[in-house]
Amino acid sequence: MEHRQANGKLEENGDLRIKVTGLIITGTGANPVPEFRAVVSCQSIANGAAVVVNRVTAPFPATTSGDASFKGNVDLPKPCIAPIVFVTAGTGDPPGVWFSVTGA
């Protein structure tokens, strides 16, 4: 049995760790993109109004078997309410394709 998952941990200071295992296209059995990025999306406040803020990491290498890891820091807005971490393609501005997500 193959184990496919993406786990992440985001600290209040913006430290982010992600481990991706076996993130592939099931029809081909492979991951077609050489790099992933992470996007941290959260609600914040600007000029007294609620806004969505997205912070994107630099690309990090991914294997054809869909394995990758990232360890770094993301400059989070203050406040960063209800953050969601997405694993996305390594290219595109903004990254429009996401492969995995967690809000836990």
If you write DSSP's letter for every residue of 50-81 in order, what string do you get? Answer: EEEEEEEPPPEEB-TTS-EEEEEE----SS-E
What does pTM read for this prediction?
A: 0.84
In 29-50, which positions are buried (b, 16+ CB within 10 angstroms) versus exposed (e)? eebebeebbbbbbbeeeeeeee
State residue 54's pLDDT score: 93
State residue 103's pLDDT score: 63
State residue 1's pLDDT score: 39
The pLDDT confidence band at residue 7, using thresholds 50, 70 and 90, is confident
**Domains present along the chain, CATH in parentheses:** 5-102 (2.60.40)
Nearest CA among 49, 51, 54, 43 for reference residue 96: 54
Half-sphere exposure (CA, 13 Å, Cβ side) for 39? 21
Residue with tokens 């694993």: 87
Residue 104 or 47, more confident:
47
Mean pLDDT of 69-73: 97
Residue with tokens 């430290």: 15
pLDDT in tens, 12-67: 999 999 999 998 888 888 999 999 999 999 999 999 999 999 999 999 999 999 99
